[in-house]
Amino acid sequence: MDDRRETVRLLEPDGTTVPGAQLPPPDRLLDGYRGLVHARRLNEQAGALVRQGRLAVYPSSRGQEACQVAAAMVLGDDDWLFPTYRDTAAIVARGVDPVEVLTMLRGDRHCGYDVAGHRVAPQATPLATQLLHAVGVAHAARLKGEPDAVLALCGDGATSEGDFHEALNFAAVFRAPVVFLVQNNKYAISVPLHRQSAAADLADKAVGYGMPGVRVDGNDLPALLTVLDDAVSVARSGGGPTLVEADTYRMEAHTNADDAGRYRDESEVASWAGRDPLVRLRARLRADGLLDDDAERALTDDAERMAAALRAGIAAECPVDPEDLFAHVYAHPTPQLREQRAQLRAELEVTP
């Protein structure tokens, strides 16, 4: 008996439409494709910057770009996005300057962008902690009667954390307007999914919390837009949270510090290459006459300009002030901190 739940899919891997499927409007699909082209180029450029020593590390989302782009597209200006360390492309798709997003990964002390201005929380490196923050913001919006919705991203590994349970339980009990998007890319660093969860599907976990659970093809942008649009609409209208599991795959290693060849076969990676989200949507748009060579060339050129601006921005010198060491600990510095700051200042005057 097959106990797997149905996976929502609108496009087959070759770009043909699933019989009976209703795709989002053409202009939205084109916007989504542009986002995919930018996200793919962003991943490539950030990886190159790591190899050049310009960035300390970069967790690539190559292969997961449809999840990244859809997460940003379904939110309104006043909604909130809570990303993980792998969700740089989602933040950029939300409209944040790529240079600002990657500032943290070049070693700066802060996340680089205006969190409140963009309604995007800082990227969370600890697993699942951002889910609690997302629920708190959503619950506050509900209490204040604001129409905001919150979308929180996490990976399959985060679903094994205690914070995941606490966040989903609280959200369901208090009907917080939040959508949890789990990007099931099959590995928690090197640990395969079957070694960390016995659940048939991660979306099944929603049942235990009393909220809807949906499993969607995470490499199918039209399906993601449809499912997430519905979930955000439910949250915004007071219907409470939804857990969405996106079935996708991390095509590259966990980070540049990881050797994925030690825990997975090339044949497995190759099997997922045939489900590439960008190739799939491109085939559909081409078949419908919505995309031609000139339009593709324009999108590629636009992505190249983004990459060039990213290279220039990351390469630029970032002035530092040593006294910042003491600037953000207390609103009113202690006598000890004032003494240490004065000592550092005196030493810098002698030896700049």
Q: What is the largest CA-CA distance in the chain?
A: 78
Backbone angles phi, psi at 296, to 5 degrees: -65, -40
The answer to whether 221 and 23 are in contact (CB under 8 A) is: no
Active site residue 110: no
Quote the CA–CA distance of 298 and 305 in Å, as a whole number.
11
Helix ranges (DSSP H) in the chain: 26-51, 65-73, 88-93, 98-101, 115-118, 129-144, 162-173, 205-209, 221-236, 266-273, 277-287, 293-315, 335-350
Active site residue 139: no
Active site residue 250: yes
| Catalytic site residue from 263, 264, 311, 341 | 263
Distance of CA 244 to the CA centre of its chain: 14
The structure tokens listed for 209 are: 């919390």
The answer to whether 123 and 91 are in contact (CB under 8 A) is: yes
| Catalytic site residue from 250, 280, 282, 284 | 250
Which distant-in-sequence residues (6+ apart) come within 8 Å of 177 by Cβ?
138, 141, 142, 148, 149, 150, 235, 236, 238, 240, 241
| Catalytic site residue from 139, 254, 280, 282 | 254
Quote the CA–CA distance of 93 and 77 in Å, as a whole number.
13
3-state secondary structure 238-264: CCCCEEEEEECCCCCCCCCCCCHHHCC
Enzyme catalytic residues: 250, 254, 263
